Structure 1
Amino acid sequence: MTLRSYLHNFISKDKQESKSVCQYRVRQTKNQRTIQVDCSQCKQSSTLNDPACRERLFEIILTEPISNRLVLSHLYERDYEGNEIAVIYELAKFGDALLNYKDVRLTSNCSHREANKCTSYRKKLLDNVLECSKNDPVTACKFLKKLVIDGNEHTTHPECHDCVAEFRSTIREMKDIASEISIFHAFRTEQSAYHDSDNNDKTWTVFDYDSYIKPHVRPAFSTSRIYTEPPENTRFMECYDVRNNAGRMLQISIYEMTDRPEKLYMAIPLEYNLGHNVLGLIERVRKKLIRFRPENMNFADPVNSREYIYRIGKQMLEEDAKLHGIDLTPFETMAYSDLLAKYTTGLGILEDVLSDPKITDVYVNAPADINPIHVVVDGDECITNIFLSQDDLDSMVSRFRAISGRPFGEATPVLEMELPEFGVRVSVIGDPLSANGLAYAFRKHARTPWTLPKLINTGSISPLTAGLLSFLMDGEASILVAGEVGAGKTSLLSAMMMEIPQKYRILTIEDTRELPIEDLQQLGWKIQGMNSRSSILNTSIEVKPDVALRAALRLGNSSLVIGEVRGPEVKVLYEAMQVGTAGNSVLGTIHGASTRSVYERIVHTLGVPPASFKSTDAVVVCTNTRVGGSMSKKRRVTQISEVSTGWDEDATPEEIFAEIMQYSSAEDSLIPTDILDRGQSELIGKIARKWGISIDDASLNIRIRARIKQKIASAGSLDPKFLEADVVSKANNVFWLYMDMEKHGTCGPDYERVYEKWNSWFDSFSSSGL
């Protein structure tokens, strides 16, 4: 089809349909003005590729004040914002600007007998362009361009030259208006935009608006928006699928940005690819579920309410599908039932993201409806294709407030809580603390407890580091795990707890639960968990940390694990450590990037006397390291230092701490210092004396443990099950059992024989299958 024939057909067709009025409403929020067009009853396709839809949308946005979001609402809703709605405004304003030429003079005072014919011809050309610009600005722009190039009229009459020149001048003015519109520049650089050259009008193809103006697409029951196609400034890297407990699949694609050192995480949930029949089915059942709410149902209990909605939704789906003649497989019924629970009592699309085992953190920055979600994937912070709406944010914080029982509002603009069903710690801030509305941070816990062999395989620690930490924990050392936010402090602390023999009791104190207490209890550890007041919320309904600590000290001889050392309760802790009432070992995490910062914070900021600080045996520093200067951050243990004993209050940090192991960037690993290699560690010597063994035996003990951890890690590289807590706990128990048997010998423990026995057991255990 040629451009002229396309334009002729376009103008001559019946346009009664396009004259109907679309129903729409305008919604104003703090950050956005949204025009929402109701397309549910429309017979058109409800896309920008439909000429009738384009004309109606242009009329609407030109009638209303400037808005920054346009929504076409149907079973699938299309959201245009940012650059996309800016382009739509440009196209609409282009057609509006051309209307100024509707009554322009098309000829000079011509006495030629054909003057009326010429004027009529030019008027028809101009009217065609103006009519076309109302809903197909690209074609109108293209036609203007060809009129300028072709000249359109050739005659030898002396007066025709002036008339043609004036008409072409008008056409050039109209074309210049188009040249000021940015999107037309992009069109000119793309062969696919016109499919013909400037001098060949034989291959005109209808322009694909939807390919250039891409909306965020979502089903009607979801207020979260995603874009389903990657931007042009990306390059594909990898893809994988994530399956949740109900079997629903989530398609994940990772792209790298070509214009900046950042990655794009694209998630395409199941519901964004469903057919219209299924979408209609789910939406009908969802509306029934909203009206169907038993009075005795506690919807503040997310696990029970989700299970209830799942069962009722499954029944309603089967009934509605049968009524409307829709065939559903058992898998589809289960998946769609889970979708209903996800969008009624769940977290919507956010819970799909949280189900990805590669993700450790999810951030929602304010204003959330114009900022994409950010995620941390294997240490890399990535932008995503997901935008949460204000409705999402408001409903989530209401639900979190009900579940936690904690206050949230202008008087208390911070909310911290746990979502055990997702293994997530949630932090929310709102007005007036957050200037632009609600902001969220989701910190995921490991689905299973961290172990030292698992940390070896992630590169966080070396086998020798694992052996040393196992030895220190068995030796009841008091250790602080330091590092910045997200450096892996709690992960390492959890793994170290598994190196405490199961025969000893453990007490934990946390304001926000992160340690895998229930998992370790099921594996045989004797753990009592205690909750304390949040250091941020400071509500009167929770127990103060120092009160919780004093209670713990009265609960008998136990290893004491403190989730985070950060308040005035630290003085109580060090007093107990100094006089020996803290029981066995004391463990805890603390914010600090080095041993120096840990000492300064505890002594100078928290007011612990320097003499009391000597009760700390060692400080382990975790860091998010950019290995080799890359943009990706990896969790690494970068320093293990013992606290020396022979120093006074005026001592420098160099005199206070002695490094046992230090990080080598060249090897990307912790390496032992001379203190460890030459057996000069005060801490190892202290444990050796307590056990009644020599320094050489203690050093051999550490290396035997390192070989054991390496053996488990190597097996785990072939089968990840060997890295899990149940296997590691069995392996540790067998090691302690053989060690205890050896200690009853007359010549003391033979560590090589212990390892040989353990190695034989592990080979038999691994070959028998898990």
Structure 2
Amino acid sequence: MYEERALRVIDRAKRVHKILKFDKELVSYVPEEGWRVVEEYWLMEPFSKVYIIYNDDLSDYKYVVAEPELNDFELELLKWLKDELISYLESFEGKGEKEEIVKSAVDKLLKDLNVKLEEESYFKILYYIIRDFVYYGKLTPLMFDRKLEDISCNGYNKPVFVFHRDYTNLETNLEFHQDELDALVIRLAQISGKHISLAEPMVDAALPDGSRIQMTLGREVSDHGSTFTIRKFRDEPLTPVDLIAWKTFSSEQMAYLWLCIENRKNLIFAGGTASGKTTSMNAVSLFIPRKSKIVTIEDTREVMLPHENWIPLVTREAFGERGKIEMYDLLRAALRQRPEYIIVGEVRGREALTLFQAMATGHTTYSTLHADSVSGAIHRLESPPIEVPRPMLEALNIISVQSQVYIEGKRVRRNVEIAEIVHLDPHTKMLRTSTIFQWDSVKDRHVLVGSSKVLEDIRMHRGWSRSELEEELERRKAILEFMVEHNIRDFRSVSDIIHTYQTNPEKVLRKVS
């Protein structure tokens, strides 16, 4: 469940604050000439702080991490403690969380050395030891920053870059020399349960908090040396309400998707890299009825659902010549489990044919696809290596296209089009599509531009009149707007309201009205 990962992140922060409990501020920072601080916030108070700085002449922002400065004695003692801890921890018989074990070991070593430190020196040294032994070394403050989406290191002695939710791409003041970066990449692979070496220098993995990481080691595949890119896991997945509040979708679009998903229509989210495809797919999956049987299939766990009747499946690399489990294998296995909904992280290979066969046999499926338009998505599905026969594409009901765009100089995500697959012309063999919603880039709003065949199918199936269909859409739109207006955005509360509406609509409507 998503709560396990979220609680892991929250517990980690609580443990750090409990052990490193010190009231005096330990960091300070003065920007270089020409730069000024525009925002600052704590990551691990009072030990690490972020300063966003700006240069008017360069029109550029930077991300600066500030940590406590150590004097010569503290540096020497820190080095000695680290050297001793490497062998000491192997035989240390402590129980509890890693932070507590490391703290106990440090206290024992200091006692054996008969060193009594000032409180400030003690906590500064303990911070660096816990940072390096328990977490991610110099990278730790960035991993604690909830405003970061991506962290990228592009090689030896090169600045680490981050993608910040408020400032987009930023250069940081962190960089790693060769031995330091190689050691970090090997450590990141180890704590992800993976192996990386010069013989196998590329690894995709998931960190313990759920963040995705791609790593390369040495100069085998990158002239710049070892690299890594981390796509950070959110403490709590986004909801449809978040996407409406951020104007990624309109409430009218979400009401449409809610009705379509509840009535088991097939959907693919298309878009470029980092356009928010998986985020949107995860968010609208909250519309799946609570007790429906769901199977998710991914390379790395990203989809997080509140549903109890959910089987998450993940691919596996081979351990030697045998043992590799691909999406195709998992999808075939999933079909034997009689799921009502199948969610596939990304369509990109031979599993696509099986996925569309599943659609045609009544399994509702959702997935993502790298494509920038509806026509591009269809072309990609028909072309190698996916190669879905055109007649089978009729089983797909909806294509939702997302993109990163600029609004008033700020990069944001927008759904640019929702289209439906109407039918395959038997004479021309052309696949006809119909755009239902289009994004107006000038006014930054989503416009209803076409009539929906999918909604008409739902109306016929449910035995509604056209006015009843319109009323149902308006009710769902009103519920979504109510949650936006009252800032009801947390994952559990939103899913509870959605699922309560499915079983007891009057109860929710009374609350909204």
TM-score interval w.r.t. the shorter chain? 0.7 to 0.9
Question: Structure 1 pair 338/656, CA: closer, same or farther in 2 (3 Å)?
Answer: farther
> CA–CA distance in 2 between the matches of 1:715 and 1:686?
33
Contact 2:391–2:424, Cα closer than 8 Å, also in 1? no
Residue correspondence of structure 1 range 192-231 to structure 2 within 5 A:
229-231=30-32
SS of corresponding position for 1:316: helix
- Matched with 1:706 is 477
- Matched with 1:692 is 463
Question: Structure 1 pair 267/400, CA: closer, same or farther in 2 (3 Å)?
Answer: closer
> CA–CA distance in 2 between the matches of 1:438 and 1:306?
34
Deviations along 1:152-189, one digit per CA (max 9) or x if unpaired, are xxxxxxxxxxxxxxxxxxxxxxxxxxxxxxxxxxxxxx
- Matched with 1:587 is 366
Question: Structure 1 pair 633/710, CA: closer, same or farther in 2 (3 Å)?
Answer: same
What RMSD, in angstroms, separates the aligned Cα atoms of the two structures?
Answer: 3.0
- Matched with 1:356 is 145
- How far is 1:293 from its partner? 3.1
- Matched with 1:600 is 379
Contact 1:590–1:598, Cα closer than 8 Å, also in 2? yes
Q: Does residue 757 of the first structure (1) align with residue 510 of the second (2)?
A: yes
- Matched with 1:493 is 281
Letter in 2 for 1:713: V
- How far is 1:415 from its partner? 0.6
Contact 1:314–1:337, Cα closer than 8 Å, also in 2? no
Q: Which residue of 282, 303, 313 corresponds with 2:103?
A: 313
Deviations along 1:221-265, one digit per CA (max 9) or x if unpaired, are xxxxxx96534343432222223xxx5542111122334443211
Structure 2: stretches of 5+ with no match in the other structure: 1-27
> CA–CA distance in 2 between the matches of 1:444 and 1:284?
33
Residue correspondence of structure 1 range 301-380 to structure 2 within 5 A:
307-308=97-98, 310-317=100-107, 320=110, 323-328=114-119, 337-366=126-155, 368-369=156-157, 371-378=158-165, 380=168
Q: Which residue of 332, 336, 345 corresponds with 1:554?
A: 336
- How far is 1:397 from its partner? 2.4
Question: Structure 1 pair 756/508, CA: closer, same or farther in 2 (3 Å)?
Answer: closer
Q: Does residue 466 of the first structure (1) align with residue 254 of the second (2)?
A: yes
Deviations along 1:49-107, one digit per CA (max 9) or x if unpaired, are xxxxxxxxxxxxxxxxxxxxxxxxxxxxxxxxxxxxxxxxxxxxxxxxxxxxxxxxxxx
Contact 1:285–1:313, Cα closer than 8 Å, also in 2? no
Contact 2:251–2:481, Cα closer than 8 Å, also in 1? yes
Q: May I ask how many residue pairs the two structures share in their alignment?
A: 483
Question: Structure 1 pair 458/275, CA: closer, same or farther in 2 (3 Å)?
Answer: farther
- Structure with bigger strand share is 2
Contact 1:248–1:335, Cα closer than 8 Å, also in 2? no
Residue correspondence of structure 1 range 53-68 to structure 2 within 5 A:
none
> CA–CA distance in 1 between the matches of 2:177 and 2:105?
30
> CA–CA distance in 2 between the matches of 1:492 and 1:509?
16
> CA–CA distance in 1 between the matches of 2:323 and 2:193?
10
- Matched with 1:609 is 389
Letter in 1 for 2:493: V
Contact 1:481–1:622, Cα closer than 8 Å, also in 2? yes
- Give the structure-2-normalised TM-score: 0.86
- Matched with 1:393 is 181
- How far is 1:714 from its partner? 1.6
> CA–CA distance in 1 between the matches of 2:84 and 2:188?
24
Contact 1:318–1:333, Cα closer than 8 Å, also in 2? no
Contact 2:92–2:105, Cα closer than 8 Å, also in 1? no
Question: Structure 1 pair 529/404, CA: closer, same or farther in 2 (3 Å)?
Answer: same
Contact 1:281–1:317, Cα closer than 8 Å, also in 2? no
- How far is 1:407 from its partner? 4.6
Deviations along 1:484-511, one digit per CA (max 9) or x if unpaired, are 1111111111111111111111100001
- Matched with 2:5 is none
- How far is 1:704 from its partner? 1.5
- Matched with 1:657 is 433
Contact 2:293–2:341, Cα closer than 8 Å, also in 1? yes
> CA–CA distance in 2 between the matches of 1:579 and 1:474?
18
- Matched with 1:638 is 416
Q: Does residue 291 of the first structure (1) align with residue 87 of the second (2)?
A: yes
Deviations along 1:673-724, one digit per CA (max 9) or x if unpaired, are 1x2xxxx3101111222222233322322221121111111221xxxxx311
Question: Structure 1 pair 571/437, CA: closer, same or farther in 2 (3 Å)?
Answer: same
- Matched with 2:6 is none
> CA–CA distance in 2 between the matches of 1:461 and 1:435?
41
Question: Structure 1 pair 649/478, CA: closer, same or farther in 2 (3 Å)?
Answer: farther
> CA–CA distance in 2 between the matches of 1:354 and 1:466?
32
Question: Structure 1 pair 418/248, CA: closer, same or farther in 2 (3 Å)?
Answer: farther
- How far is 1:395 from its partner? 1.4
- Structure with bigger helix share is 1
Q: Which residue of 234, 240, 245 corresponds with 1:457?
A: 245
Deviations along 1:255-311, one digit per CA (max 9) or x if unpaired, are 223344432111112x3x3455655554443332122132699xxxxxx99933542
Deviations along 1:606-660, one digit per CA (max 9) or x if unpaired, are 11011101111101111111114x2x311111111111125358566xx622111
Q: Does residue 505 of the first structure (1) align with residue 283 of the second (2)?
A: no
Contact 1:469–1:496, Cα closer than 8 Å, also in 2? yes
Letter in 2 for 1:266: V
> CA–CA distance in 1 between the matches of 2:100 and 2:243?
37
Question: Structure 1 pair 708/382, CA: closer, same or farther in 2 (3 Å)?
Answer: same
- How far is 1:757 from its partner? 1.7
Letter in 2 for 1:363: S
Letter in 2 for 1:356: D
Contact 2:153–2:161, Cα closer than 8 Å, also in 1? yes
Letter in 1 for 2:396: T
- Matched with 1:301 is none
Question: Structure 1 pair 516/607, CA: closer, same or farther in 2 (3 Å)?
Answer: same
- How far is 1:595 from its partner? 0.9
Question: Structure 1 pair 232/294, CA: closer, same or farther in 2 (3 Å)?
Answer: same
User: Percent of counterpart pairs with the same letter?
Assistant: 22
Letter in 2 for 1:328: E
Residue correspondence of structure 1 range 11-410 to structure 2 within 5 A:
229-243=30-44, 249-269=47-67, 271=68, 273-274=69-70, 278-294=74-90, 307-308=97-98, 310-317=100-107, 320=110, 323-328=114-119, 337-366=126-155, 368-369=156-157, 371-378=158-165, 380-410=168-198
- How far is 1:567 from its partner? 0.8
Question: Structure 1 pair 756/312, CA: closer, same or farther in 2 (3 Å)?
Answer: closer
SS of corresponding position for 2:403: strand
> CA–CA distance in 1 between the matches of 2:95 and 2:367?
36
Letter in 2 for 1:254: I
> CA–CA distance in 2 between the matches of 1:395 and 1:305?
27
> CA–CA distance in 2 between the matches of 1:410 and 1:318?
38
> CA–CA distance in 2 between the matches of 1:502 and 1:755?
16
Question: Structure 1 pair 661/373, CA: closer, same or farther in 2 (3 Å)?
Answer: same
SS of corresponding position for 1:689: helix
> CA–CA distance in 2 between the matches of 1:540 and 1:248?
50
Question: Structure 1 pair 344/559, CA: closer, same or farther in 2 (3 Å)?
Answer: same
